[in-house]
């Protein structure tokens, strides 16, 4: 009896260990393929650094980002203030560190919103076709016909300034390309032989979509979302520059450029350093997206 009871437990434990080993092997293989591409490695490293800085901001920043010191206003970069100070004497390096939290907050919230929404609408339109496809795609075309920044400005102007409203406005403008991508992927999959075989076995439309089509569309959607993150950063910075995003004294990068543009000719660091932060992180997400496309998209091989 002891052997018959322990054997299933041992078998299950062995299967779990094998699954963990397979997952570890795949993870290391994935990271190895990323590391072989220099630009992808650089982009991934910068994104990882951004995450670390955002998480450990209170320990990394040498000064409080909101405390003013007018006696040290507009000090150039030196050993005390690595990136100088702004017009209120606040340490720019500390404000950049805390500003990374705001940037990641916007990027992550928009991404986890537009990803499922665009994927759901795209696979639904592509799989069912007919009037459902016509209605959903015409709505998508309406949103795509407007420049994303202009449409985001309109929504933020209607909702009012604030980080939450910026997230909503950018999310409303960012889902249409993902929906069209998911629709195109679904159209190429719905007539495949294995989908027809699943239907013949009696699988419902919901099961076909959830178990077979959505997993195959995910890599392309993930790649598109990663590459969209650069646009999200730029749009959020643009709204912050116009005073429609994070409100003073929050250390949002676009708002930092806006408040320092009056002094940019005499004190270049006030606007140059936040601008470089936006540029470098936008490029990092683009590099990372390119690398993910090479790894996850089998057609690139």
Q: Which domain holds residue 162?
A: 37-300
Regarding whether 229 and 192 lie in a shared domain, the answer is yes
Our count of domains for the chain comes to: 2
Regarding whether 23 and 41 lie in a shared domain, the answer is no
Regarding whether 161 and 20 lie in a shared domain, the answer is no
pLDDT band of 288, cuts 50, 70, 90? confident
SS (H, E, C) the chain: CHHHHHHHHHHHHHHHHHHHHHHHHHHHHHHHHHHCCHHHHHHHHHHHHHHHHHHCHHHHCCCCCCCCCHHHCCCCCCCCCCCCECCCCCEHHHHHHHHHHHHHHHHHHHHHHHHHHHHHHHHHHHHHCHHHHHHHHHHHHHHHCCCHHHHHHHHHHHHCCCHHHHHHHHHHHHHHHHHHHHHHHHHHHCCCHHHHHHHHCCCCHHHHHHHHHHHHHHHHHHHHHHHHHHHHHHHHHHHHHCCCCCCCCCCCHHHHHHHHHHHCCCCCHHHHHHHHHHHHHHHHHHHHHHHHHHHHCHHHC
Q: What is the pLDDT of residue 245?
A: 84
Query: What is the rounded CA–CA span in Å between residue 233 and residue 242?
Result: 14
Regarding whether 26 and 109 lie in a shared domain, the answer is no
Regarding whether 236 and 128 lie in a shared domain, the answer is yes
pLDDT band of 94, cuts 50, 70, 90? very high
pTM over 0.75: yes
Regarding whether 42 and 12 lie in a shared domain, the answer is no
| Span 103-157, pLDDT tens digits | 999 999 999 999 999 999 999 998 888 888 899 999 998 888 888 888 888 888 8
Regarding whether 261 and 138 lie in a shared domain, the answer is yes
Regarding whether 45 and 26 lie in a shared domain, the answer is no
Regarding whether 271 and 179 lie in a shared domain, the answer is yes
Q: Nearest 5°: phi and psi at 161? A: -70, 155
Regarding whether 41 and 19 lie in a shared domain, the answer is no
Regarding whether 47 and 26 lie in a shared domain, the answer is no
Q: Residue 161 belongs to a domain with what CATH number?
A: 1.10.3720.10
Q: What is the pLDDT of residue 33?
A: 66
pLDDT band of 3, cuts 50, 70, 90? very low
Query: What is the rounded CA–CA span in Å between residue 244 and residue 236?
Result: 9
Regarding whether 205 and 65 lie in a shared domain, the answer is yes
Q: What is the pLDDT of residue 227?
A: 85
């Amino acid at each position: 009896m002891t052997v018959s009871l322990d054997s299933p437990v041992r078998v299950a434990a062995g299967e779990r260990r094998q699954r963990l080993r397979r997952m570890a092997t795949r993870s290391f293989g994935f990271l190895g393929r990323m590391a072989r591409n220099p630009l992808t490695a650089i982009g991934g490293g910068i994104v990882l650094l951004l995450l670390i800085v955002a998480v450990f901001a209170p320990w990394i920043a040498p000064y409080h980002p909101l405390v003013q010191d007018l006696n040290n206003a507009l000090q150039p970069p030196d050993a005390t203030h690595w990136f100088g100070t702004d017009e209120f004497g606040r340490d720019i390096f500390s404000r950049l560190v805390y500003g990374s939290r705001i940037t990641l907050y916007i990027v992550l919230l928009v991404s986890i919103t537009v990803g499922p929404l665009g994927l759901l609408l795209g696979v639904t339109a592509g799989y069912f076709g007919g009037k459902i496809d016509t209605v959903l795609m015409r709505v998508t075309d309406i949103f795509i016909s407007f420049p994303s920044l202009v449409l985001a400005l309109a929504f933020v102007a209607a909702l009012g300034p604030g980080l939450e409203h910026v997230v909503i406005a950018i999310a409303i403008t960012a889902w249409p390309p993902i929906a069209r991508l998911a629709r195109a992927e679904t159209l190429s999959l719905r007539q495949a032989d294995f989908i027809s075989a699943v239907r013949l076995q009696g699988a419902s439309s919901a099961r076909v979509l959830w178990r077979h089509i959505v997993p195959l569309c995910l890599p392309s959607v993930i790649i598109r979302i990663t590459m969209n993150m650069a646009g999200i950063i730029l749009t959020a910075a643009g709204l912050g520059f116009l005073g429609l995003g994070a409100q003073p004294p929050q250390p949002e990068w676009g708002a930092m450029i806006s408040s320092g543009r009056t002094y940019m000719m005499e004190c270049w660091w006030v606007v140059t350093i936040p601008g470089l932060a936006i540029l470098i992180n936008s490029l990092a997400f683009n590099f990372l997206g390119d690398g993910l496309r090479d790894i996850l998209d089998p057609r690139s091989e």
